[in-house]
Structure 1
Amino acid sequence: MVLTLHDIRYTYPGSPAPALDGVSATFAKGWCGIVGDNGCGKSTLARIACGLLAPDAGSAFPCLTAVYCPQDASTSPDMLEDFSCDFSREAQRLRENLGIDDDMPWRFDSLSFGERKKIQVACALWQNPAVLALDEPTNHVDARCREALSHALERFRGIGLLISHDRALLNQLADRCLMNEAGSWTMRPGSYDQARNEQERERAEVSARKEAAKREAARLATEADARAHLAARTASRLSARRLDKHDSDGRSRRQLAVFSGKDGQAGRLATRMDARAARASEKAASIRVAKRYDGSLWMDARPHPRATLLFMEEHSIPCGEGQLRLPKLALGHTDHVGVSGPNGGGKSTLVRHLLRQLPVDVPALVIPQEVSRDEADRVLARLHDADEARRGRLLSFVTQLNSSAERILAGRDVSPGELRKLMLAEGALDGPALIVMDEPTNHLDLHSTEALEQALAAYPGALVVVSHDEAFLEACTTTRWIVDEGQVRVR
């Protein structure tokens, strides 16, 4: 059983450029990682593969049963009620392995995003489709849930499409990867690391070929210039204009050159060399090396003049059906705090409480886990309404996080990752004294995650980051608030 996409083209309404253009791929049983920068069309490709979008051109065949599990953790699965009422062996095994209590599906909207995500995946697996597309399945989930999810996905025996920024998950599940770079899609065998290494090797080879072609073009251009000067000097020597009318020897030499044909040889050689140089220059220009931002992203901000932004005595706050006990907590104007803990423990509750206690004179940038469609529309509207200078700075910031400025300007079909980058850019330009981000690596591609990690680590103000990504927290925070078992511990 295989699924084939042939010459797929798709353009979102109102967008001036296609999201996918001439994409072909064949998917066999097993997991295929779909990898690329935010906005390159990964989710669009998965929706077309599952029959949720009809391509403008091309085809997906044969028609197979398919389920698409979206990025958005707030979306309730279509078959949630059926899954909740099923007490078959398979349904109970999924709920048990993923830690889903019988009542959890019935209160989906009250669950944490991590708990909602594992219910989404469980419901998709329970349907046992021929084609299963998972879009960022480990967003929001803690380490324990991530491990349970990966084991459950290993047992899937159909055609699996895995869109993920989770390198460990891709390496564990995928035996091939469909990779996008600079608009080109290539299927490569092996795990993510193997496919990535092959991609980098090819990129290095192309880069080396381009540099060699540029050197050859420069050498030929120099030689062509020298030949042109020689031809000009030869023509000057053969000219009779400056020849004394009594110089019979000079006249004889000129006539001999005309007779032998050497009077035009230098010019013809110069012309041929010009043509060679032009061809070499065209060859160098035709070799395309995918561009990628590899520098450091700097956010122009400074710490708040007050050394302590917030201090809270020991107290408890409501959390779910219980209480969350807080110790004395202080947030300094340059502190970088990582908030971690299991799903449903109260991390987001703690952050919301912190923001309510924050003095009004502390400018803060707050980026939540999920962004509503209305808020996304407002962010895009502010971008389009901004003056030319501010819009340029916003798009420059986003470009440095490896997203296309042209695509973001094009319309409403920006990916969740692109939207979060734009929100970060918008807030960072206003010089916040505090940045609060809840699961900042959700929806971000791997390169964007690395760039954001470096930017936040260098941020001079206060930072509070909620994340399950331990490597990310270790890189950009220095203090840890651990939320677990109804209390907060400081480490």
Structure 2
Amino acid sequence: MVLTLRTITYTYPGSPLPALSDVSATFDEGWCGIVGDNGCGKSTLARIACGLVTPDAGEVVPRRTSAYCSQDASAPPALLEDFACDWSREAMVLRERLDIDDEMLWRFDHLSFGERKKIQVAVALWQRPEVLALDEPTNHVDARCREALAGALEEYRGIGLLVSHDRMLLNRLVKSCLMFENGTWTLRPGSYDQGHNQYEREQTEAAAKKATAKREAARLAAEADARAHQAARTASRLSARHLDKHDSDGRAKRRLAAVSGQDGKAGALASTIKARQARAHQEAHRISVAKRYDGSLWLDASPSPRATLLFKDAHSIPCGVRTLALPKLALGNTDHIGISGPNGAGKSTLVTHLLGQLPADIPALVIPQEVPPHTARHLIASVRSADEARRGRILSLVTQLNSDAKRILAGRDVSPGELRKLMLAEGVLNQPALIVMDEPTNHLDLHSAEALERALAAYPGALIVVSHDDDFLTACTTIRWVVDEGKVTVQ
């Protein structure tokens, strides 16, 4: 069983650039990773493969039954009610494996995004499609749920397309990767790490060849210059203009040199070297090496003049059908606090409560897990209408997070990862004293996540980050609040 995409091209309405251009790939049974930087067209490619989007050019053959699991976990799956009413062995095994109880299926809108995500994936698996495309299936989920999802996905038998920045999941599941590299799509065999390492080797070799070609071009330029000077001196020596008109012997020697071709050798050599130099320049230009923007995403802000932004004695707050017990909590003007805990424990509830207690004169930048469409539209309109200096700063910051900021602003369709970068870049210019980010690495490609990690670690103000990525929290925060079993523990 195979699925073939032939010369796929697609441009979103109103966008000046195509999201995909002349992309071809053949997928066979098993999982294939679709990886690349934010905005390169991964989700669009998966939706085209599932028949949800019709390409402007190219074709998908043959047509197969398919299911697509979107990045967005805010809306319930179309077949959720059918899944909830199915008491077959297959449905019950899925619910048990992913720890989904019957009651959860009927209150989807009240669940955490992590709980919604595993229900979303369960419904997609339950359909048993020939083609299953999962778009960032481990966004929002905790470590326990990630392990359960990986185990369930390993048992899928069909053509699996995994759009993900989760390196561990990719390495565990995929046997090939369709990778967006340096402006082109390449299908590579093996795990993500194997494909990425092969690409890095190719880039290293290309960089070495490019440097060699540049050195050769420079050497030939110097040699051509020397030959040109030599030709000029030879021509001067062979000129009879300065000879005495009675020096017949000297004139005879110059005529002999001209007849024998000696006066043309230097010029001919110079011409040959210039041609070789031009070829070396062309070779250096032909070799493409990917550019990366690894500069720090400097956040131009300073701590609040208040030493303590928030202080609360021990108390309890409502959390779903339960309560969440909070100890004495303090937020200093330079504290970097990481909040962790399992799905549904109350992490987002805690953050919402704290923001409600924050003094109104403390400037804060809050970036939620999911951005509503109307907020996204307002943000893009605001950036487009900003003055030239402000817009330039925003473009610079987004570029350092490895996205084409001009393309983002020009188009109407912005990926969730690109949107979060734009929110951060635009919000930072307001010089917040506090930044709050709920699952900031969701939707971000690996390079962008690393850049964000460095930036947040260097942020001089107060920071609250909610994440299931323990390594990320360790890198950019120094205080840990753990939410679990109805209480918050300070570590």
Does 2:103 match 1:97?
no
**For the Cα contact (< 8 Å) 1:316–1:324, is it kept in 2?**
yes
**For the Cα contact (< 8 Å) 1:188–1:195, is it kept in 2?**
yes
Q: 1:421-446 CA deviation, whole Å, 9 max, x = no partner? A: 01000111222111100000000011
**Mapping of residues 74-153 of structure 1, within 5 Å:** 74-153=74-153
How far apart are 1:390 and its partner, in Å?
Answer: 1.4
Task: Quote the Cα distance in structure 1 between the aligned partners of 2:434 and 2:227.
Answer: 64
**Mapping of residues 358-437 of structure 1, within 5 Å:** 358-437=358-437
Who is 2:240 aligned against? Answer: 240
Task: Quote the Cα distance in structure 2 between the aligned partners of 1:93 and 1:145.
Answer: 15
Does 2:225 match 1:225?
yes
How far apart are 1:229 and its partner, in Å?
Answer: 1.2
The two structures, once aligned, show a CA RMSD in angstroms of: 1.1
How far apart are 1:244 and its partner, in Å?
Answer: 3.5
Who is 2:281 aligned against? Answer: 281
Who is 2:7 aligned against? Answer: 7
Does 2:67 match 1:67?
yes
Who is 1:489 aligned against? Answer: 489
- Scaled by the length of structure 1, the TM-score of the pair is 0.98
How far apart are 1:245 and its partner, in Å?
Answer: 2.9
**For the Cα contact (< 8 Å) 1:178–1:185, is it kept in 2?**
yes
Which of 360-369 and 242-251 deviates more?
Answer: 242-251
Q: 1:303-360 CA deviation, whole Å, 9 max, x = no partner? A: 1111111111111111111211111000111111000111111111110111111112
State the AA in 2 paired with 1:194: Q
How far apart are 1:243 and its partner, in Å?
Answer: 3.2
Does 2:25 match 1:52?
no
- Scaled by the length of structure 2, the TM-score of the pair is 0.98
Task: Quote the Cα distance in structure 1 between the aligned partners of 2:49 and 2:244.
Answer: 85
Give the secondary structure class of the aligned counterpart of 2:102: coil
Give the secondary structure class of the aligned counterpart of 1:229: helix
Task: Quote the Cα distance in structure 2 between the aligned partners of 1:250 and 1:394.
Answer: 74
Who is 2:24 aligned against? Answer: 24
Task: Quote the Cα distance in structure 2 between the aligned partners of 1:86 and 1:357.
Answer: 44
Task: Quote the Cα distance in structure 2 between the aligned partners of 1:202 and 1:258.
Answer: 52
**Mapping of residues 247-396 of structure 1, within 5 Å:** 247-396=247-396
Give the secondary structure class of the aligned counterpart of 1:402: coil
How far apart are 1:249 and its partner, in Å?
Answer: 4.4
**For the Cα contact (< 8 Å) 2:401–2:448, is it kept in 1?**
yes
Task: Quote the Cα distance in structure 1 between the aligned partners of 2:193 and 2:44.
Answer: 24
Taking a change above 3 Å as real, the CA distance of residues 388 and 241 of structure 1, as seen in their structure-2 partners, is farther
Give the secondary structure class of the aligned counterpart of 1:295: coil
Q: 1:183-220 CA deviation, whole Å, 9 max, x = no partner? A: 21111111111111111111111111111111111111
Q: 4+ residue runs of structure 1 moved beyond 6 angstroms?
A: none
Task: Quote the Cα distance in structure 2 between the aligned partners of 1:306 and 1:250.
Answer: 94
Give the secondary structure class of the aligned counterpart of 1:488: strand
Task: Quote the Cα distance in structure 2 between the aligned partners of 1:271 and 1:405.
Answer: 45
Task: Quote the Cα distance in structure 2 between the aligned partners of 1:246 and 1:391.
Answer: 78
Task: Quote the Cα distance in structure 1 between the aligned partners of 2:412 and 2:458.
Answer: 32
Matched residues, number: 491
How far apart are 1:122 and its partner, in Å?
Answer: 0.4
Q: 1:154-210 CA deviation, whole Å, 9 max, x = no partner? A: 110111000111111111111111111122111111111111111111111111111
Structure 1: give runs of 5+ residues left out of the alignment. Answer: none
Q: 1:278-312 CA deviation, whole Å, 9 max, x = no partner? A: 11101111111111223332212211111111111
How far apart are 1:468 and its partner, in Å?
Answer: 0.5
Who is 1:195 aligned against? Answer: 195
How far apart are 1:246 and its partner, in Å?
Answer: 4.0
Q: 1:102-130 CA deviation, whole Å, 9 max, x = no partner? A: 12121111111111101100000000000
